[in-house]
Structure 1
Amino acid sequence: HPHPPTWHDFHGFPAPLYAVDYPAPGEPALAARIASVLEKAGLPATLDPERPRDHGVWVPLSLMYPDADIPVLQLSLPTAFGPTLQTRIGQALGALRKEGFLLVGSGSITHNLGELDWRAGPEVVEPWARAFRDWIVERLQADDEAALHDYRQRAPQARRAHPRDEHLLPLFFARGAGGRFGVAHQGFTLGALGMDIYRFD
């Protein structure tokens, strides 16, 4: 879609979030090219010219590029594709970085809305959330792909940190697309919602 609408695909959050509009242009030709790259890598891709831009796109980009003056392409990662296939998607698209494209995996290092404390300040961090985050960071620093891909079984409090996978899977895409791991920011909000930012240079 050359001008995707903004989709507020969540419920129960503060009213100002529902007024956000992020009008960055799309780029249909690039979307077709990316679909072709994925198909050549044996990863089926479907173009959806009607899909609006969900909060996984406009929340981070409205902070990074508040003027919405760069073309943006949203790639929805199938949740049926576990960590290994998400990594393959990143590897297939990683070469685009050499052409100046920025690949962003948008999710959350912990994401269990039922465990949030809506009155907690930034100094409050649930021990289980910190334990999970710290394990992930240690495994990323060690480049331990086997452990990361088996995080459901190996990481402390994995099911509590992520009742479902979809908010962690973009991490594997980003790791596949990039290289050396680094931490740009770490923090929690509402007691248990991870707000970390990682780089893969």
Structure 2
Amino acid sequence: MPSLPALFVSHGSPMLALEDGPAHRFLRGYAARLPRPQAILVASAHWLSTVPMLSTAAEPATIHDFRGFSPALYAMRYPAPGAPALATAAQRLLAAAGIAATMVPDRGLDHGAWVPLSLLYPAADIPVTQLALQPDAGPAHHLRLGRALRPLREAGVLIIGSGSLTHNLSAAFANPGDAPAAAWVDAFAAWVAERLAAGAIDDLLAYRRRAPFAADNHPTEEHLLPLFVALGAGSDGGAIERLHASTTHAALAMDAYAFE
């Protein structure tokens, strides 16, 4: 079985699942470029904990963890089967790397997982589990999580970090969806793209000090931490491809990356 890349996807607004746009169309078409996964592990910006956690739910519920959106969005369900065996395998790999992970039997799929998956794999027929992020632990911790989980790719597991390349909601709410990208958003996205292409991991880990407008783009950093999980799950020295770049609401960069 060919190894799958690790992915970072920006999920932006939950309405991504329903509204046409560049990122919506990209996600709808991208899975056709990949071998079909045996299972999927999602590290989502919307499951946060103090220690790593994995979901062992056999039939994970669809969590509508947002307010004020279209009734059609609340009616959506993503009834993918759970992947408790994958969660167990991930827990073992993390333990081998010295990282203790807790199992959670009833965690459903939050919108950081089911919104992009509803576009990538709309049939909802691939088993899915989720990994919680630790927002106070920083990028290096999440890079380490991804590196520990890297062997799963050889077993046909698609590892997805789901967040947002930029995530200033105050600025986003102040602009319509089709507003052009703010200059400070473009500057940050371009810096990340250049540093990834250069393999400058130390710069990326220190993005808070080195990237332009880092705090403006990420007042809190939980939406960028999935990038480091995906980066760690990629192969050392492997190809890094910027799959997609667009912006919504002036402040939400919807970039996606593949780490081979």
Task: Judge same fold: TM > 0.5, yes or no.
Answer: yes
Secondary structure class of the residue paired with 1:105:
strand
**Is residue 119 from structure 1 mapped to residue 171 from structure 2 by the alignment?**
no
**Is residue 167 from structure 1 mapped to residue 226 from structure 2 by the alignment?**
no
Question: Which residue in the other structure is 1:67 paired with?
Answer: 123
Point out which structure has higher relative CO (alpha carbons under 8 A, 6+ apart).
Answer: 2
Question: Which residue in the other structure is 2:74 paired with?
Answer: 18
Secondary structure class of the residue paired with 1:4:
coil
Measured after TM superposition, the shift of residue 15 of structure 1 is: 3.1
Segments of structure 1 that go 5 or more residues without pairing to the other structure are none
Taking the aligned partners of 1:113 and 1:14, their CA distance within structure 2 comes to 18
Q: TM-score, normalised on structure 2?
A: 0.74
1:24-35 pair list within 5 angstroms: 24-35=80-91
Inter-CA distance 181–126: structure 2 relative to 1 (3 Å threshold): same
Measured after TM superposition, the shift of residue 126 of structure 1 is: 0.7
Question: Which residue in the other structure is 1:128 paired with?
Answer: 184
Segments of structure 2 that go 5 or more residues without pairing to the other structure are 1-56
Question: Which residue in the other structure is 1:36 paired with?
Answer: 92
Measured after TM superposition, the shift of residue 118 of structure 1 is: 4.0
Of residues 191, 197, 200, the one that matches 2:250 is 191
Taking the aligned partners of 2:62 and 2:205, their CA distance within structure 1 comes to 32
One-letter amino acid matched to 2:225: L
User: Comparing 97-106 with 75-84, which one deviates more in the overlay?
Assistant: 75-84
Structure 1 vs Structure 2 CA RMSD: 1.2
Of residues 120, 140, 143, the one that matches 2:199 is 143
Moved segments of 4+, more than 6 Å: none
Q: Deviations over 1:66-92 (max 9, x none)?
A: 010100111112112211111111111
How many residues align structurally? 200
Measured after TM superposition, the shift of residue 16 of structure 1 is: 2.4
Secondary structure class of the residue paired with 1:2:
coil
Q: TM-score, normalised on structure 1?
A: 0.95
One-letter amino acid matched to 1:17: L
Taking the aligned partners of 2:83 and 2:162, their CA distance within structure 1 comes to 19
- Percent of residue pairs bearing the same amino acid type: 50
Inter-CA distance 149–50: structure 2 relative to 1 (3 Å threshold): same
Taking the aligned partners of 1:83 and 1:199, their CA distance within structure 2 comes to 18
Question: Which residue in the other structure is 1:49 paired with?
Answer: 105
Measured after TM superposition, the shift of residue 28 of structure 1 is: 1.3
Taking the aligned partners of 1:135 and 1:13, their CA distance within structure 2 comes to 32
Higher strand proportion: 2
Secondary structure class of the residue paired with 1:75:
strand
Secondary structure class of the residue paired with 1:74:
strand
